Amino acid sequence: MKPISSRDNPLVKRLHALSASSRERRKFGESLLDGAHLLDAALLRQWPLKGVVVAESSLASAEVRNLLARCPAEVPCYRLPDALFAHVSPVDTPSGLVAIIDLPPEPPPAVLSRCVVVLDAVQDPGNLGTILRTAAAAGVRDVLLTDGCAGAWSPRVLRAGMGAHFGLSIRERADVLQALQGFPGAVLATALAADARSLYDIDLERPVAWLFGAEGQGLSPALLARASERVVIPMAGDIESLNVAAAVAICLFEQARQRTR
């Protein structure tokens, strides 16, 4: 394991850039996995790693030592003093362990015939990562993101996804209208509208393309017009809407419930 102690080290500068800037991540074609859970998930999926960086104090952890031992022999490992690790950490509370990965190539165009989640301008990294984790847990593999969404492979979205990325087909900056041409199932938009039907009155055993927009602006007019039906989640009292991640979870697991009854 190679020790590094200077902020002027090229790797340190690169790590700092990757942690802080989407532009730099695109420039290098790389991102960071933060924390033991994400590294464990990557190793289980045999996801290619370009390097592993650990804070000195984290070497006292048996979990971290075990993860380092599981890394392929060709993956370089680096040790940083805790203060220097904090400087390159992509989160405010450093986990003490990060891995460098290549940004994956876009999945090839494919005919969508099973359930798919479409996210329109969901910009909060925590929401986006949570939604990806929910989709994976509900058995949905295809996720399409419009151009206005947060970067799916940013460190904060990866951290919120907790490894879900490695089992999903994620298409960023997708031409959703084109991708949904010929979709054989229902295209459902969650929207507050007079003609919206209750989620619990809709047949969800068929393939569904779910359209979700950000809380503030909702779905774009073009995507809303593409929906074959509008859906509302019944709520008590004077609550008008839910966090988009909560809405996705309710919809996807209502579909999962209907498919297993």
pLDDT tens by residue, 84-135? 999 999 998 999 999 999 999 988 877 888 899 999 999 999 999 999 999 9
Using the predicted structure, report yes or no on whether residue 239 has a pLDDT greater than 80.
no
Please write the tens of the pLDDT for every residue from 148-174: 899 999 999 999 999 999 999 999 999
What mean pLDDT comes out for the span 193-213?
A: 92
Using the predicted structure, report yes or no on whether residue 185 has a pLDDT greater than 90.
yes
Q: How confident is residue 45, by pLDDT bands cut at 50, 70 and 90? A: very high
Q: Check residue 252 and give its pLDDT.
A: 97
Using the predicted structure, report yes or no on whether residue 195 has a pLDDT greater than 90.
no
Q: Check residue 199 and give its pLDDT.
A: 95
Q: Check residue 28 and give its pLDDT.
A: 95
Q: How confident is residue 189, by pLDDT bands cut at 50, 70 and 90? A: very high
Q: How confident is residue 261, by pLDDT bands cut at 50, 70 and 90? A: confident
How many percent of the chain have pLDDT more than 90?
A: 85
What mean pLDDT comes out for the span 200-210?
A: 95
* Topology, domain 2-102: 60s Ribosomal Protein L30; Chain: A; (3.30.1330)
Q: Check residue 184 and give its pLDDT.
A: 93
Q: Check residue 68 and give its pLDDT.
A: 97
* Mean predicted lDDT score pLDDT of the chain: 93
Q: For residues 255 and 204, is the Cβ–Cβ distance under 8 A?
A: yes
Distance CA 227, CA 202 (A): 14
Distance CA 157, CA 31 (A): 11
| Residue 147 CB neighbour total at 10 angstroms | 11
Tokens of 199: 């989620």
Task: Report CA-CA distances (Å) from 112 to 184, 188, 258.
Answer: 8, 15, 21
Q: For residues 84 and 7, is the Cβ–Cβ distance under 8 A?
A: yes
Largest CA distance in the chain: 63
Secondary structure class of 81 (helix, strand, coil): coil
Domain ranges (residues) in the chain: 2-102, 116-260
| Residue 245: closest CA among 148, 160, 128 | 128
Please write the tens of the pLDDT for every residue from 5-27: 999 999 999 999 999 999 999 99
Using the predicted structure, report yes or no on whether residue 237 has a pLDDT greater than 90.
no
What mean pLDDT comes out for the span 234-256?
A: 89
What mean pLDDT comes out for the span 48-71?
A: 97
CATH number of 116-260: 3.40.1280.10
